[in-house]
Structure formats: C-alpha cells, structure tokens
Structure 1
C-alpha cells in the first residue's frame, strides 16, 4: 500500500480537487494522511503558500498537484498511475476504441447544459 501525506488546511478547495484527482488517478490502494498546517507555525511557514502539497514515503513533494497533468506525471514516476483513468481524464481514447468507433467524449454539450455521455 502506498502511503502519502497531504499538507492542507480547512476549506482548501484546491486540496479537495487534488484528493478527487488522486482517488481517480492512483492505481492500487493508498493511504492518505492529512496534515493540518494551520496548527503549526513551522508547517505554516513551509507550506502556507504552497498547499496542497502531496508527499510520498521517500519525502518527495508535489506542489500544485491539483493540476491533472502534474499529478499524473508525479504518480507515473512512482509507478502508481492508473493509465486508463488518465487517458479518460485527459480525453484520450483508450487503446482500440478508435478503431471500433466506440469512443465518445465523457461530456456532451447540448443547449448550453452539460450532460454526462
């Protein structure tokens, strides 16, 4: 199981986005420990303007992991990127779907409203 740490603070919408992306793109099981930085001056100084910061077991940090491409690259470097989920997230076709004519975008627009496809 992959153990990750998320430096965050209450109400951080970017942290919530990172958690959502992580749940979608991480291959296999992982444990996410959330560390509230507002309760510690040293953590506030280190991470205050950088959150969310995702850290792996080796101590390697990812700033701005709420950007899908940055998170995907970081996970791929650790061999825990769900490639299929990433292809779907980034709008690419899953292998073989194009030849079979089965690929459809995940979101279709009609009359200005968004519908899941």
Structure 2
C-alpha cells in the first residue's frame, strides 16, 4: 500500500479535485494522510500558495496535482498510474482534436468567423 500525504486546508476545492482524480487514477491501494496547513505557521509559509501539494513516502512533492496530466505523469513515474483509467479520463483533457487544430491554423472562431490572430 502506498502512503501519500496531502497538504490542504478547509474548503480547498482544488484539493477536493485532486483527491477525486487520485482515487480514479491511482492503481492499487493507497493511504492518504491529510495535513491541515492553516493550523501551523511553518506549513502556511511553505505550502500556503502551493496547495494542494501531494507528497509520496520518499518526500517527492507534486504541486498543482489537480491538473490531470500532471497527476497522471507523477503517478506514472512511480508506477502507480491506472493506465486504463487515464485513457478514459485523459481523453476529456486533450484539446478537442482535429477541429481545434484546424481552427487555430485558419484563425477561425468556433462560430466559423475569421479573425486576425
């Protein structure tokens, strides 16, 4: 079982998002210890502007783990990524395929109007 620490604070919606994605993307069992930073000045100074911060047992930190590609890459480095779950979830975070690429090349808005870019 993997042991992880999440530096968080009450009402942190990004922390909640990270937790939800972690439960979807982590392969196998893990234990998540949540550390409330608002109760400790040193933790506030270290993590206040960076939360959520996810830390593995070796002390390696992940800032902005609420961004799915960042979390997936961090988990993959540790061989903890559920590849099938990432394929399903990751598709939602890719640019909208050919249509977006084509719009960028032709400088078109989604409505089809051209603009100077």
Q: TM-score, normalised by structure 2?
A: 0.78
Query: Is residue 81 of structure 2 the alignment partner of residue 81 of structure 1?
Result: yes
Higher helix share: 2
**TM-score in terms of structure 1 length:** 0.78
Runs of 5+ unmatched residues, structure 1:
93-117
The structure richer in strand per residue is 1
Paired residues for 1:22-41 under 5 Å: 22-41=22-41
5+ residue gaps, structure 2, are 93-117
Deviation at 1:48, TM superposition (A): 0.2
Using the alignment, how far apart are the partners of 1:82 and 1:42 within structure 2?
A: 34
Give structure 1 regions of 4+ aligned residues with deviation exceeding 4 angstroms: none
Residues paired across the two proteins, number: 92
Deviations 1:60-108 (A, max 9, x none): 000000000000000000000000000000128xxxxxxxxxxxxxxxx
Partner of 1:51: 51
Instruction: Output one character per residue of 1:35-76: Cα deviation in whole Å (capped at 9) or x when no partner.
Output: 000000000000000000000000000000000000000000
